[in-house]
Chains A and B, each alone.
Chain A
Amino acid sequence: MQRCSPLQGPALPLIVPGLVSGLPHTQPRPTTVFSIMIEFKRLWHYFTRYIDNFLLAGLFLLMLVGLVVLYSASGGNFGRVSGQILNMVVALIIMWLVANIPLQQIMRLALPLYIVGIILLIGVAFFGEIQNGARRWLNLGITRIQPSEMLKIAVPLMMAWYFDKTEITLRLRDYAGAALILLLPVLLIARQPDLGTALLITASGFYVLYFAGLSWRVMAGLLVTAGGILPLFWSFAMHDYQRRRVLTMLDPSQDPLGAGYHIIQSSIAIGSGGVAGKGWQNGTQSQLDFLPEQSTDFIFAVFSEEFGLIGNGLLLLLYLVIIGRCLIITANAPTQFTRLVAGSITLTFFTYVFVNMGMVSGILPVVGIPLPLISYGGTSLVTMLLGFGILMSIQTHPKLVKT
């Protein structure tokens, strides 16, 4: 699917020559209102030539919903909303920049990005700042960064690059190599500890393996092994608070004021919303602060309380449309690298949505995973839109004949 860019389209006059470097010069014409409009249109086309409009529209709609809910969840605090708008602008710019990078460039970035990420993770392990009992942040003097966030993109890129480079028919040892690429950062992150991120990265890496054609038999074997390891993991590798979270998910009433409080209150919020919801800014659970983390991880409960089952259905539909678009992009991706990357990003996005909603509605344990594009917070927004930027780049850049 090729898009018209000013480079290929009919040459239109430009009033200010040299405004955008690289634009072809034509004969100057007299300035009219009409010609200004045409100029703007031309410019607009130039800037958005690597943007997937359909996807962008979906993302905009989602972010708009997010702002509306955030306004209610923060008790009518416009400061929070404008902060989130700023986050969105920054994330959109990053998305635009990434979308403009051609695929070969992105591919070339895979290895260095991964290596830098691993180095930073090792740095965290040795020099990281401890916060809430976990070592996740690295202070670079100028700013503090959380390298695990960057690995969310770097790991699938690296794995896809690895598979793309392999010329011969993929054998089990190739998958094992890819699994090593995955395991190294996951282990580093798991011991921070940041189980949520570790699991998400494992998932995104697993999606690459899956799309690269890992045999069903091996996957079934992995599933059985995982089932066998789980009890050992439970008793040796998990922290008390993590175990408690799982137990609480199974029976929230065990600890109604402690760990169970979150789930009980969010279930009450969702359930009391009913079919039609209580109306925007009328959710008692959220407005009276019974809901914890209501503008971040539990924002879906706010939405659900105020907009009810109908709102939930529409929101799921919106997510489904976006995921559907991403799957189409994935299906049309020109190279193995892009296919694997696009597939992994799409499924990771879905994983976020499902895990968050599942956790808030009480069918999954409480893990600190935000609802994409709706929860307040800049980091996940940037990561998320960066992924969509890659998808857009895959969709809009000229497909090189490689297949």
Chain B
Amino acid sequence: MNYVVELRNHLLELRDFHIRLAITAGFVMLLFCLLLTRFFYLQVLRSEHYTTLAEANRISIMPIVPNRGLIFDRNGEILAQNHTTYALEIIPNQVPNLESTLDELATVIEISPEDRRRFNKLRRESTRFSSLPIRMRLSDVEVASFAANRYRFPGMEIKARLLRHYPHAELLSHVIGYIGRISDKDLEQLENNNALENYRGSLHIGRIGIEQSYEKELHGITGFEQVETDAAGRHVRTLSRTPPVAGNDLTLSLDLKLQQAAESAFGDYRGALVAMDPRNGEILAFVSKPGFDPNLFIDGIDHVNWRLLNESIDKPLNNRALRGVYPPGSTFKPFMALAGLELGKRTADYSINDPGYFSLPGSSHRFRDWRPNGHGRVNLHKSLVISCDTYYYTLANDLGINNIFNFIGQFGFGRKTEIDIPGEVTGLLPSSDWKKKRFNQNWFPGDTISVGIGQGYNLATPVQLTFATMLLANNGIAYRPHFVKQIQDNKVGHLHENKPSQMYTLKLKKENVARVRNALVDVTRPGGTAAKAGANADYTFAGKTGTSQVINIKQGERYVASKIQERHRDHALFIAYAPAEDPQIALTVLVENGGSGGSTAAPIAREVLDYFLLGKTPEPMLAEKANNRAH
């Protein structure tokens, strides 16, 4: 290659350089103008939009959960209260490695595998909450040792919370119920009721019993706080505050002492007792034994306790008084008798001859009386006092199933009593229509016979029996059974009486009712089926014993209690009211596998009545008290 090596022309280069420098200056200006345009766009044109976003970043609305309303008995004894406890809460989003952090945490305060399991369950169920408790009920020492190590655990906080506490635990579990963590299912329901807003921040909701049915009263109104928060969600300062309104306090008609008396009168028996004031429908005692400790459920029950409760043969979770259905047995007879009188199928003087059984014409099947050889001549009065079965076989046959259904239905059998706790069942008062619907079969005359003595298809709950007894005791006024006597409204600050509501009144002839009632008084007197329980009472009380079969006894066999397994023994029943002339209390006692009503159920009723009317403390309760004092 041959070309001339040209030396650089520095002057030319310098000129070119200066031109390029000028272009550079223009370029710089241009790009700065571009930046300025961008700033103008952000800070002038879109300023409002970004200001809104900045405010939304900064300000958050924090709910202030109201204190849940308290529950008292009729004498002001507290049944459900709120305790201040300290809980350690975790905001899972702010903890990068939860498992290892929990391991580390366990070196500072005790974290059991059970706590972890429960925490993980909460995480799965309550996606809505950012902060979840890992440990509840921290001791002062634990609070202090966590506080000292707090820097090691970002995203964890000690929170003071009011924890629901049920001081009487098992005694009232089936009445008060309990509160549990709000689940996603609850949230759905709250949303449908347009109540979700008021539950922001709330952790618990009433699960069963009064806690559930009076949730609206007990919850209160959630307050709000406008807070400035930083990017980590930490509270910087409060901008404004709307205080919450505590839930309304409830005063129940329940008498705690009476409840305790009733509970202890049962001794080791399982069963139910419902006592009501026949003058207004107030529930005075409501026992379903055994109960359970509702405190276990508040923050999710651990699986050990859950298995103990759920798999127990005694079924402590089952509310026997409200949901347990039993054949009413002979306690059905007073209502049958009244049906006979009112519908003109029987007079007081009419009597039958009882050979110990009843057979339908043209049938060899024998409906047996409980007494093998019968009671001889039996009129209405005697039929109740000695609980003659044959009398009611004939009566049922004469009335026919649909008359029984229509008349006795008025006493609340086969329908809900509308008591103010949830979960009530209807029981069963059979009719021909029902059988057609249920089994697509015609009703046979033979089906009617056992209905007459409260067996057959008949099923009733202790609450229903008490409701029916109330109607006998007050000559036919149906008060709605209820627990809540007063509501202390914490919003306006006044006391609201829950007035008894009359659902309906039965039109019954006074003399007919009086006849039945007279007979029921004689049941507790010498010669009656509850004579032993009624002995030496300082008041008159009326009652009716009953025995409901758990297993069928075959034709020609006899029921011998000692030969039958305990769990297959008959349930003992007793309905009663007292004082007979001016009833202040009507009750039902059901003793599961208790045998005969007269021997096990009636004495329990007697003890409860003695306590209620005379203030006499039952023996087992005295023994327990002495025991407590000795400790």
Contacts and interface: CB of A to CB of B under 8 A. Distances in A.
Interface of A: 166-170, 210-211, 213, 265, 267-275, 284-285, 288-290, 304, 308-309, 312-313, 316, 319-320, 323-324, 327, 330-331, 336, 339, 343, 347, 350, 354, 357-358, 361-363, 403
Nearest to A330: B21
A357 B229 contact: no
B228 A288 contact: yes
Contacts of B49: 271
B434 interface: no
A273 B230 CA distance: 18
A188 to B, nearest CB: 28
A170 B9 CA distance: 10
Given A288-B57, A316-B32, A363-B38, A268 B50 contact: yes
B53 interface: yes
A268 B35 contact: no
A309 to B, nearest CB: 4
> B35, B36, B39 — which one has the most chain A CB atoms within 10 A of its CB?
B39
Interface in B23-72: 24-25, 28-29, 31-32, 34-36, 38-40, 42-44, 46-47, 49-51, 53-55, 57-58
B53 to A, nearest CB: 5
5 contacts: A168-B7, A284-B58, A312-B39, A319-B32, A343-B17
Contacts of B8: 166-170
A361 B57 contact: no
B50 A267 contact: yes
B57 A285 contact: yes
Contact of B232 (A267, A289, A358): A289
Chain B: number of interface residues, binned into ranges: 35 or more
B16 interface: yes
Interface in B222-257: 228-232, 236
B13 A343 contact: no
Given A268-B53, A272-B50, A290-B57, A316 B36 contact: yes
Contacts, number: 130
B21 A331 contact: yes
B116 interface: no
Given A168-B8, A288-B58, A347 B35 contact: no
B13 A336 contact: yes
Contact of A274 (B17, B31, B35, B51): B51
Contacts of A269: 54
Q: Is the interface of A mostly helix, strand, loop or mixed?
A: helix
> A166, A271, A350, A357 — which one has the most chain B CB atoms within 10 A of its CB?
A271
Given A211-B21, A285-B54, A288-B228, 15 more contacts: A168-B8, A169-B6, A169-B8, A213-B13, A267-B42, A271-B49, A272-B47, A272-B53, A288-B229, A288-B231, A309-B40, A309-B43, A327-B21, A354-B32, A362-B38
A173 to B, nearest CB: 12
B10 interface: yes
Nearest to A210: B20
A361 B35 contact: yes
Contact of B54 (A284, A319, A320, A330): A284
B39 A270 contact: yes
Contacts of A357: 35
A272 B50 CA distance: 5
B24 A347 contact: yes
B94 to A, nearest CB: 13
Contacts of B20: 210-211, 213
Given A289-B231, A320-B28, A327-B25, A271 B47 contact: yes
A343 B51 contact: no
A326 to B, nearest CB: 10
B5 interface: yes
A75 to B, nearest CB: 10
Given A270-B50, A288-B229, A316-B36, A169 B7 contact: yes
> A268, A304, A357 — which one has the most chain B CB atoms within 10 A of its CB?
A268
B122 to A, nearest CB: 24
A304 B7 CA distance: 52
Contacts of A323: 28
B507 interface: no
Contacts of B29: 320
Nearest to A317: B32
Contacts of A347: 24
A330 B230 CA distance: 47
B16 A213 contact: yes
A308 B13 contact: no
Interface of B: 5-10, 13-14, 16-18, 20-21, 24-25, 28-29, 31-32, 34-36, 38-40, 42-44, 46-47, 49-51, 53-55, 57-58, 228-232, 236
B232 A304 contact: no
> B18, B25, B40, B230 — which one has the most chain A CB atoms within 10 A of its CB?
B25
Give the 6 A-B CB pairs with smallest separation, nearest first. Answer: A271-B50, A272-B54, A288-B230, A289-B231, A271-B42, A169-B6
A169 B31 contact: no
A363 B38 CA distance: 8
Contact of B57 (A210, A268, A273): A268
Contacts of A290: 54, 57-58, 230-231
Given A271-B43, A274-B43, A289-B231, A354 B35 contact: yes
Contacts of B47: 271-275
A32 B13 CA distance: 55
Contacts of B46: 271
Contact of A361 (B18, B42, B58): B42
B44 A275 contact: yes
A167 B38 CA distance: 46
A285 B9 CA distance: 57
B230 A309 contact: no
A304 B6 CA distance: 54
Contact of B14 (A284, A288, A403): A403
B9 to A, nearest CB: 7
Nearest to B6: A169
A170 B228 CA distance: 65
Contacts of B13: 213, 336
Contacts of A213: 13, 16-17, 20
Nearest to B232: A289
A312 B33 CA distance: 12
A354 B36 CA distance: 11
A274 B58 CA distance: 17
A240 to B, nearest CB: 21
Contacts of A285: 54, 57
Contacts of A312: 36, 39, 43
A175 B32 CA distance: 30
Contacts of A271: 42-43, 46-47, 49-51, 53-54
A350 B28 CA distance: 7
B5 A354 contact: no
Contacts of A210: 20
A304 B54 contact: no
A331 to B, nearest CB: 6
Nearest to B18: A331
Contacts of A274: 43-44, 47, 51
Nearest to A340: B17
Nearest to A361: B38
